[in-house]
Amino acid sequence: MEVLKTYKLYIGGQFPRTESGRSYAVLSQSGQHIANACQGSKKDIRNAVQVARKAQASWAAKTAFNRSQIIYRIAEMLEARKGQFLEELQALGFDLKSATQEVETSIDRCVYYAGWADKYQALLGTVNPVASSHFNFSVPEAMGVVGVVACQQTAILGFISQVLPAIIGGNSVVVIANQKLPLCAITFAEVLATSDVPGGVVNILTGSVEEMLPTLSGHMDVNALSLAQLDSAILEKAQTEAVENLKRVMSYSIDFSQSTAQGLSYISDFQEIKTTWHPVEQIAGGAGGY
Partner 1 sequence: MLPPRNNPDLISLLAKSPTIDQTGSIERVARIQARSLKGAAKLQGLRMALSMIDLTTLEGKDTPGKVRQLCFKAQHLHDQTSDLPKVAAVCVYPSMVGIAKKALGDSGIKVASVSTAFPSGQAPFSVKKDDTLFALENGADEIDMVISRGRFLAGDYQFVFDEIAAIKELCTSARLKVIFETGELDSLDQVRKISDLSIAAGADFIKTSTGKIQPAATFPVVLTMLGAIKDHYDRTGQMIGMKPAGGISSAKLALQHLLLVKEVLGEAWLTNEWYRFGASSLANDLLLQYQKQLTGKYQSAAYFSID
- The residues binding partner 1 (CB under 8 A) are 45-46, 49, 215, 218-221, 244-245
**CA–CA separation, 238 vs 215, rounded Å?**
9
Smallest separation, CB 218 to partner 1 (Å): 5
**CA of residue 2 relative to chain centroid, distance:** 34
- Sheet with 33-38, edge to edge strand ranges: 6-7, 33-38, 23-27
Smallest separation, CB 244 to partner 1 (Å): 7
Smallest separation, CB 217 to partner 1 (Å): 10
Helices (H), the chain: 42-61, 64-80, 82-92, 96-116, 120-124, 157-168, 183-193, 209-218, 232-242, 264-268
Burial 42-74 (b: 16+ CB within 10 A, else e): eebbebbbbbbbebbeebbebebeebbebbbbb
CB closer to partner 1, 170 vs 218: 218
CB closer to partner 1, 45 vs 99: 45
Radius of gyration of the chain (CA): 21
Smallest separation, CB 249 to partner 1 (Å): 16
For residue 285, give the DSSP letter. T
CB closer to partner 1, 22 vs 46: 46
Smallest separation, CB 245 to partner 1 (Å): 7
**CA–CA separation, 256 vs 233, rounded Å?**
22
CB closer to partner 1, 3 vs 220: 220
Smallest separation, CB 129 to partner 1 (Å): 33
Q: How many CB atoms neighbour CB 26 within 10 A?
A: 24
Smallest separation, CB 147 to partner 1 (Å): 12
CB closer to partner 1, 49 vs 156: 49
CB closer to partner 1, 1 vs 220: 220
**CA–CA separation, 141 vs 128, rounded Å?**
17
The length of the chain in residues reads: 290
Which residue type, as a one-letter code, is found at position 83?
A: G
CB closer to partner 1, 95 vs 221: 221
